[in-house]
Chain A
Amino acid sequence: MNFFLETLIGGLLAGTMYSLVAIGFVLIYKASGVFNFAQGAMLLFAALNCVSLQEAGLPFPAAVLASVSIMIVLALAIERAVLRPLVGRSQITLFMATLGLSFIIEGLAQGLMGAEVRALDLGIEDVPITIGDIMVSQFDLFAAATAGILVLVLALLFNKTRIGVSLRAVADDTRAALSIGINLNRIWQIVWAVAGIVGLVAGLLWGARQGVQFALSLVVLKALPVLIIGGFTSIGGAIAGGLIVGAAENLAEVYAGPLLGGGITPWFAYFLALAFLYVRPAGLFGERAIERV
């Protein structure tokens, strides 16, 4: 029983990181109606910035602050150079634009900061601690707490504030939002900046675990099943989806892995997502259009 609980908790904790990555997608999807393929590149870029600045001698907090500023500037640039000229175009056009953007950002990141794997030390040791008689990874706990706090802040920001109501208004009906004076460009800037900052946090947490390297940009592929399960339009869904994927992956690896010869983790999330697609195409919390019939 304890082993089961440990596996489950380990999976849930890892799942918070998936949630974090997925939230970046949900924010942008709500504001711009596009699956932002460049989210992974932004995550890599942000984490690379931070380690490079740290290597250059900046203390960690300063490096983080500087990286946050860089992500804000990047968001402003993307809004001005990519989103604004493409306003009103089809979804596929926007998607292609973010695809192109991801190559530009990756190229920029590696051109400026090199392609080798960088170690990142957040000062949290990855040793297990015991709570009751259950062992959990200290780092996982720290990462989950960080993700949890960030998610809480975002939930407050987007549910309670005017920016949040405006964002949901834009997501519901962009033209109507424009007609009552909501500044769409401003909303895009804010949302892309927030997505960049979420990317930074996720990138640092993942980077501390696996090293900051090109493969980080591939977490996009991990986020996709999370989004299919949770729905593209709901922050709550992204959280739930991440937890489900994390827990299911861990449990499957441990219990079904030996039967199938191991190596389940890379594809199990997709298997799960497919199953969800059959049952709930809009995702667990996906907002299907509310309409009276």
Chain B
Amino acid sequence: MAISVPSIAEPPDLLVVDDIEVVYDGAILAVSGISLKVADGAIVALLGANGAGKSTTLKAVSGIVQADRARISRGCIHFDGRDVTGLAPNLLAHQGVVHVLEGRHVFPQLSVEDNLRSGGFLRKLGRREMNAALERIYAWLPRLKVKRQTAAGLTSGGEQQMLALGRALMTGPRLVLLDEPSMGLAPILVEEIFGIISHLNASENIGFVVAEQNVNVALRHAHYGYVIENGRVVDEGPAQRLAEQENIHHYYLGGTVA
């Protein structure tokens, strides 16, 4: 790894984003020089107000930028020591990076179970392995099991968010990019989802990058955080330090978050 030189005590970095710039439609500069690192098995929070560039940063990492007519015009991204800048999303998924898009993008016409199964296609699971993988997901997200035959479009917002997460987990990821999992959900569901994230992180060593406006919850579960403003990183640090920082809500997030 050329960019990060891990010290003896720290685990090596799983993801290194180095000074990327992202342009939509060849003209709109959405991210201008963001760098961040995710240590192996860490939960990292990306904080920032509307339009700060959180989603764009995640899309740049997962390669989904291409589908939104955007491109990385500067900088590079390394995953597990390999340069993955500009790689197509399906190839990145094969390497273990999966993106849970902002706003619960489940496949509405497919049943809950087919949604989950579609996540398992990547690993070419056989029938028995597929069923075992589904049972694991149902153990983590028991609400989904009850709804397994329901069309995903007819489930509740919280269930769809869990389904999107469960489907991503079916790909067997090493790093999950989660975009605003708390959006539009009741506080108790937000807690439940973050609880599951912490659990998966501890028990399965899955890394997470979570873009959130819900600063309190995000920092409570994350190890490290980055604050993004106008497409740049304006502050970073261990989650605990950021959480204790009085001004974080007011200066960076426009005081929008309770």
Tell whether A and B belong to one assembly: yes
Q: Which residues does A use to contact B, with CB under 8 Å?
A: 87-88, 162, 165-166, 168-169, 171-184, 287, 289-292
A-B contact pairs, 21 of them (CB 8 A): A165-B121, A171-B109, A172-B107, A172-B108, A172-B110, A173-B105, A176-B106, A176-B164, A178-B88, A179-B64, A179-B101, A180-B98, A180-B122, A180-B170, A182-B118, A182-B122, A290-B108, A290-B151, A290-B154, A291-B108, A292-B154
Q: Which of B63, B105, B156, B171 contacts A176 (CB 8 A)?
A: B105
Chain B residues positioned under 8 Å from A173 (CB to CB): 105-108
- Complex contact B110–A183 (CB within 8 A): no
Chain A residues positioned under 8 Å from B94 (CB to CB): 181
Residue B93 CB within 8 A of the other chain? yes
Q: Bound state CA distance, A162 and B125, in angstroms?
A: 11
Residue B114 CB within 8 A of the other chain? yes
Q: Bound state CA distance, A180 and B106, in angstroms?
A: 11
- Complex contact A178–B89 (CB within 8 A): yes
Q: Which of B67, B93, B98, B108 contacts A87 (CB 8 A)?
A: B67
Chain B residues positioned under 8 Å from A181 (CB to CB): 89-90, 93-94, 98, 121-122, 171
Q: Which of B69, B108, B151, B155 contacts A88 (CB 8 A)?
A: B69
Nearest 4 CB-CB pairings of A with B: A181-B93, A290-B153, A176-B105, A181-B122
Q: Bound state CA distance, A178 and B63, in angstroms?
A: 9
Q: Bound state CA distance, A292 and B156, in angstroms?
A: 8
Chain A residues positioned under 8 Å from B156 (CB to CB): 292
- Complex contact B98–A289 (CB within 8 A): no
Q: Which residues does B use to contact A, with CB under 8 Å?
A: 62-64, 66-69, 88-90, 93-94, 98-101, 105-110, 114-115, 117-119, 121-122, 151, 153-157, 164, 167-168, 170-171
In this complex, what residue of B is CB-closest to A289?
B108
Q: Bound state CA distance, A24 and B109, in angstroms?
A: 21
Interface-central residue, A174, A176, A179, by most chain B CB under 10 Å: A179
Question: Shortest Cβ distance from B166 into chain A, in angstroms?
Answer: 11
Q: Which of A87, A162, A175 contacts B121 (CB 8 A)?
A: A162
Question: Shortest Cβ distance from A253 into chain B, in angstroms?
Answer: 37
Q: Which of B100, B121, B151 contacts A182 (CB 8 A)?
A: B121
- Complex contact B108–A179 (CB within 8 A): no
Question: Shortest Cβ distance from A12 into chain B, in angstroms?
Answer: 29
Question: Shortest Cβ distance from A174 into chain B, in angstroms?
Answer: 7
Question: Shortest Cβ distance from B127 into chain A, in angstroms?
Answer: 11
- Complex contact A179–B121 (CB within 8 A): no
- Complex contact B118–A165 (CB within 8 A): yes
- Complex contact B108–A166 (CB within 8 A): no
Question: Shortest Cβ distance from B63 into chain A, in angstroms?
Answer: 8
Q: Bound state CA distance, A162 and B167, in angstroms?
A: 15
- Complex contact B101–A165 (CB within 8 A): no
- Complex contact B64–A180 (CB within 8 A): no
- Complex contact A176–B153 (CB within 8 A): no
| Given known contacts A165-B114, A291-B153, A178 and B90 CB-to-CB distance under 8 angstroms | yes
Question: Shortest Cβ distance from A239 into chain B, in angstroms?
Answer: 18
Question: Shortest Cβ distance from A48 into chain B, in angstroms?
Answer: 36
Q: Bound state CA distance, A168 and B100, in angstroms?
A: 19
In this complex, what residue of A is CB-closest to B151?
A290
- Complex contact A175–B109 (CB within 8 A): no
Chain A residues positioned under 8 Å from B164 (CB to CB): 176
In this complex, what residue of A is CB-closest to B160?
A292
Chain B residues positioned under 8 Å from A169 (CB to CB): 107, 110, 115, 118
Chain A residues positioned under 8 Å from B171 (CB to CB): 180-181
Q: Bound state CA distance, A168 and B164, in angstroms?
A: 16
Interface-central residue, A165, A176, A182, A290, by most chain B CB under 10 Å: A176
- Complex contact B67–A175 (CB within 8 A): yes
| Given known contacts A165-B114, A166-B121, A290-B154, A179 and B89 CB-to-CB distance under 8 angstroms | yes
Q: Bound state CA distance, A182 and B66, in angstroms?
A: 15
Q: Bound state CA distance, A289 and B121, in angstroms?
A: 25
Chain A residues positioned under 8 Å from B155 (CB to CB): 292
Q: Which of A179, A184, A290 contacts B99 (CB 8 A)?
A: A179
- Complex contact B66–A180 (CB within 8 A): no
- Complex contact A165–B98 (CB within 8 A): no
| 10 further interface pairs, Cβ-Cβ under 8 Å (given A178-B64, A183-B90, A289-B108) | A162-B121, A165-B118, A168-B109, A169-B110, A172-B108, A173-B106, A178-B63, A179-B89, A182-B118, A289-B153
In this complex, what residue of B is CB-closest to A291?
B153
- Complex contact B108–A175 (CB within 8 A): no
Interface-central residue, B89, B115, B117, by most chain A CB under 10 Å: B89
Question: Shortest Cβ distance from B115 into chain A, in angstroms?
Answer: 8
Chain B residues positioned under 8 Å from A165 (CB to CB): 110, 114, 117-118, 121
- Complex contact B118–A166 (CB within 8 A): yes
Q: Which of A166, A175, A180, A287 contacts B93 (CB 8 A)?
A: A180
Chain B residues positioned under 8 Å from A88 (CB to CB): 66-69
Chain A residues positioned under 8 Å from B157 (CB to CB): 292
